[in-house]
A and B are shown apart, each in its own frame.
Chain A
Amino acid sequence: MNKMPTANGYFGIYGGKFVPETLVNALGELEKAYNAFRKDRAMRIELKSFLSHYAGRPTPLYYAANLSHKCGIEIFLKREDLLHTGAHKLNNTLGQGLLARFMGKKRLIAETGAGQHGVATATVAALLGMKCTVYMGNVDMKRQAPNVARMRLLGAEVVPVESGSGTLKDAINAALRDWVKNVRHTHYCIGSVVGPHPFPMIVRNFQSIIGKEARSQMYTQVGKNPDFVVGCVGGGSNAVGIFSAFLRLPKTKLIGVEAGGFGTKPGQHSARFAMGRRGILHGCITYVLQNKDCQILPVHSISAGLDYPAVGPEHAFFHDEQIVEYVRCSDSEALRGCLALSKFEGIIPALESSHAVGYVLSNRKRFKGCVVLVNLSGRGDKDMDIIAREAKL
């Protein structure tokens, strides 16, 4: 059982509940309801049943033989891309959707960057017969147009957010404002291990199924733990999900891959650990990309799901405690990872997940002869426009 966070919602010095007073009791009620939910046998059975029969769990652990032979690395892929709706996001939204219903809430709201979490929330709202509003930056709506149509097809209202940079952080601002207004009957289904306590804990726990399955699959298929576990880190839910089963193992090293973008200047990357410092954004203390005057900086990544100026507070804790090593993968390295996996394995990964693949392939000397488990958190269908343009297909 994971002892973190503390009762006040802290992972070491990170986390907390920095939200308007109006939301404090709602967060308290959410935590109480979540604790009752996880002890409720009927709810556990229902969630498990949806995860298997609706979402398609367990997802396979696939030995990427072609790529492995080419690189001299034993590469295993945890195939979250095969989950219903195309990414790991559904693990969390199924959990939170059932939790919202358990609490008697009739409406779900969500923020989305790449659109994957928005689609996963809209899917669960359709499944459970709830109303759904998704906030999405107008810049993201343009670059992830197919996901906008998917959400609308599923019956969700998609609200463009034009303030700020028109990306994920602005969508979170808008969702928080909606929640302050409608807190009585609305559940904010946050999409990553970010935001105020208890969200980082709840989302982690719903995503920890990735790690649990992967660890037992590794035992069955290889008979040992991997030498490395690699996941991309935007907010950080897929990475925390897979890392959670491999924490503090002496022979397994955990690597979180941030979006290195195309340069090191502000607005060219989303490398919070490399270039950020401690701050408070969206309800928690964590590493934040900000300027000297403490204003949040614009961020960039080729993948809409990784360009976020903050990171989950548990990752900030893992970083300081050196439990996880955080590295960067550039736009072009990620694209090369995407192309290699497509060409040699017939798997088109999401550009987010391509950062994990790209980092391993760009640093193959480091991984030579090792067993490397990569969390393939999503599939690339939604990114086809960008991939086609960048790879000149």
Chain B
Amino acid sequence: MKGYNGLYLMGNYPTPKVFIDAARLGMEYFDFLEIGIPFSDPIADGPVIERAAMKVIADGHRVADIFKSIEKISCPSSKKIYVMTYANHIFARGNGTFARMMKSAGTSGIILPDVPSAESDRFKKEFAPFGIELIHFITPENTYEQIESIASSASGFLYCISIRGITGSRFSLESEMRKKIAHAKKFSRVPVVLGFGIRDGVTAAIALRVADGFIVGTRAIEILETGGVGKLSQFFEELAKHCM
């Protein structure tokens, strides 16, 4: 596929085996994986991902179990695995415990949707000794000055939340946001990747026209729920066809 694209999967969802199979398949099509570590109160997620998180927790999978599964994906050196979770998992464990787990599972960065740049210092300090990148966000609410400062210090990739909303919302791209993405690309040394609302080949192709890549999440979870890894493979093919 053209661009620098990511696939979101919820760790150990719907089962550890299906999750690992889906992740290995994803590695063939995408440049990076974003693995959700479930949190009981996921304020940035829509109903699909929230339901997946609740099931993983209810099935008794602990955070350590999910890292064990992540280890089994075996990430090629040309690709990366990022972890997406909420601040409490890192803060409440403290002492670099979470970073250590990430490092030994071979993941290279973390996405924390409830940590804005103003609160990110304590997390950067916690992850830096382990070489783990904290992914920065830009949103339609950021000013051009903020985008400049966030983008110029980004590492890994810059996560562009294209809409005001939660995961699984409808895709849209205001003209103002297109300008902001262009502005971010000017200052960022890493790919600017568009997420939230990418559902099919068409939206993915639009994302690739304005940004350096896209992340697909909610739609992949839905397909995995109803059609398993087989249908997911068809979905990846469709994306690839639109993004040649």
Contact = CB atoms under 8 A, between A and B. Distances in A.
B209 to A, nearest CB: 23
* Residue among A164, A173, A177 facing the most chain B CB atoms (10 A cut-off): A177
A278 B164 contact: no
B92 A278 contact: yes
Interface string B101-123: 00000000000011111110000
Interface stretch (A152-160, A238-246, A292-300, A347-355): A292-300
A181 B89 contact: no
A324 to B, nearest CB: 23
A285 interface: yes
Contacts of A283: 114
A347 B50 CA distance: 43
Given A20-B44, A20-B114, A278 B169 contact: no
Contacts of A222: none
Interface in A269-299: 277-283, 285, 288, 290, 293-296
B176 to A, nearest CB: 12
Interface residues of A, number: 38
Contacts, number: 111
Nearest to B60: A293
B54 A21 contact: no
Given A18-B87, A290-B88, A25 B141 contact: yes
Interface string B153-183: 0000000010011100100000000000000
Contacts of A17: 116, 118-119
Contact of A295 (B40, B114, B143): B40
Contacts of A285: 91
A24 interface: yes
Interface of A: 8, 16-26, 163-164, 169-170, 173, 176-177, 180-184, 277-283, 285, 288, 290, 293-296
Given A19-B116, A20-B44, 4 more contacts: A17-B116, A20-B113, A25-B143, A164-B40
Interface of B: 38-44, 46-47, 50-51, 54, 57, 62-63, 86-89, 91-93, 113-119, 137-143, 146, 161, 164-166, 169
The 5 A-B pairs of least Cβ separation, nearest first, read A279-B92, A21-B137, A296-B40, A22-B139, A295-B40
